[in-house]
Amino acid sequence: MAPPADAPSTAPAAPAWRRALPLLAKLAFMAGALWLVARHLDLPALARTLRHARPGWLAVAAALFIVSKVLASVRLNQFFQAIDLTISEEYNLRLYWLGMFYNLFLPGGIGGDGYKVYLLGRQFPGRRKAIFRALLLDRLSGMVALLVLLLLLFAATDYPGWWRAGALALVPLGLGLSYILGRWWFGEFRGAFGRTSWQALGVQGAQVLQAWALLAALGAAGGPVLPYLLVFLASSIAAVLPLTVGGLGARELTFLYGAKLFALSAPVAVSVSVLFYVITALVSLVGALVRVEK
């Protein structure tokens, strides 16, 4: 007879050093990325740029980040509701905020998504696999929205027309392919695909506006903003990859080389990345005060 879906595994636990290897690899990659950024960047110029940031625009950027996370929480709950996991928006938001704290500050221990699977699995016995799939689909829908916005912004650049036409053509093609694959692999969530797709675009759109507010805080919003936003979206994709702790290092490296590619101000570009990380850390730190146990 097969064991129940949520039965504890009887396999021996891996040695502690082996469990620590992924975290050590992330830390090594992050240290190397930050070293490369520091080596190729005028650090005094970076410090001057950060020192003259305008507090009002920083507050706007922080507010837009909070809006994006509240909307992301609502989107995740849509996936939960699609599989008949009924939890209130208020409770889901508290759980989401605690997950943000775990993801940023405890990447080598209980990740935010892992904690959600654990806690909700206790509240909804036998549903851990479905909960995991909801969280996975939530991540994938966010990545699709990032790619769509990246293509749309690229189509608005002054690159040759056939490049921009190709980017625009990839948008409906990519959306159609993601919808077909979503129905195939995540058919139980098909009732939520429409709403969550728009919500994912809203989440990423709010963060693009946040990047624009950070440029305004640095006094760079009057210049060519579009290339900075393209690099910001590319850095968001890099930060999603499990290469560093909380995306630190991956964003900065992407901004540094993106600035070279588009002939942008490297201190301004990296300052946007640093300020984005600081806002993320401060907002996520609130999650340490959240209580979700029932």
Question: DSSP characters for 91-116?
Answer: HHHHHHHHHHHHHHH-TTSS-HHHHH
For the chain, the distance separating the N- and C-terminal CA atoms, rounded to the nearest angstrom, is 33
Distance of CA 184 to the CA centre of its chain: 25
- Write down the pLDDT at residue 166: 86
By the 8 A CB rule, do 259 and 45 touch? no
Using 50, 70 and 90 to split pLDDT, how confident is the model at 108? very low
Matching residue, tokens 């699709």: 144
pTM: 0.82
The contacts of residue 288 (CB under 8 Å, 6+ apart) are 101, 105
pLDDT in tens, 180-235: 888 888 989 988 888 899 999 999 999 999 999 999 999 887 778 999 999 999 98
Given a contact cutoff of 8 angstroms between Cβ atoms, the answer to whether 133 and 123 are in contact is no
Residue 109 sits at φ, ψ, to 5 deg, of: -110, -120
CB proximity list for 246: less than 8 A, separation 6 or greater? 103, 104, 105, 107, 277, 280, 281
Query: What average pLDDT does this structure show over 106-110?
Result: 51
**Average pLDDT, whole number, for the chain?**
82
Tokens of residue 294, six digits: 């029932």
